């Protein structure tokens, strides 16, 4: 066993070094991914603020249009309930109006 370690210590150290390097490489690569993900999150937060403000604006506009629709519907109902005012003409006025239209 001692002779095996004397002859193979270089290979054993190489294998251990390889695995340490592999773990180091994977860790550094994952740190890059984490940084990239954090940057993406910051960018998306700005975008979501813009989108939320647009959504709030649309909701306000929708409420305003609902109020306007209610107002106009009540105005329409009120105008439908009113009877039209008809001006009555005397006989002379009716005759003059008819003559004027026929000319």
In a domain, 90, yes or no: no
Q: Tell me the whole-structure pTM to 2 decimals.
A: 0.43
* Residue ranges of E strands in 46-85: none
Q: What is the pLDDT of residues 70-79, one digit of tens each?
A: 999 999 888 8
In a domain, 103, yes or no: no
Q: What is the pLDDT of residues 16-28, one digit of tens each?
A: 999 998 888 877 7
How many whole angstroms separate alpha carbon 28 and alpha carbon 72? 66
In a domain, 86, yes or no: no
Residues listed for the chain: 103
In a domain, 32, yes or no: yes
Q: How many domains does the chain fold into?
A: 1
Residue 52 domain boundaries: 2-80
């Amino acid at each position: 066993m001692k002779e095996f370690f004397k002859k193979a210590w270089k290979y054993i150290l190489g294998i251990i070094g390889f695995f340490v390097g592999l773990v180091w490489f994977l860790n550094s690569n994952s740190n890059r991914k984490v940084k990239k993900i954090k940057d993406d999150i910051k960018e998306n937060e700005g975008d979501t603020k813009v989108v939320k403000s647009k959504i709030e604006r649309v909701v306000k506009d929708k409420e305003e249009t609902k109020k306007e629709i209610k107002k106009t519907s009540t105005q329409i109902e009120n105008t439908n309930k009113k009877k039209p005012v008809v001006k009555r003409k005397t006989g002379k006025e009716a005759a003059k109006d008819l003559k004027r239209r026929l000319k």
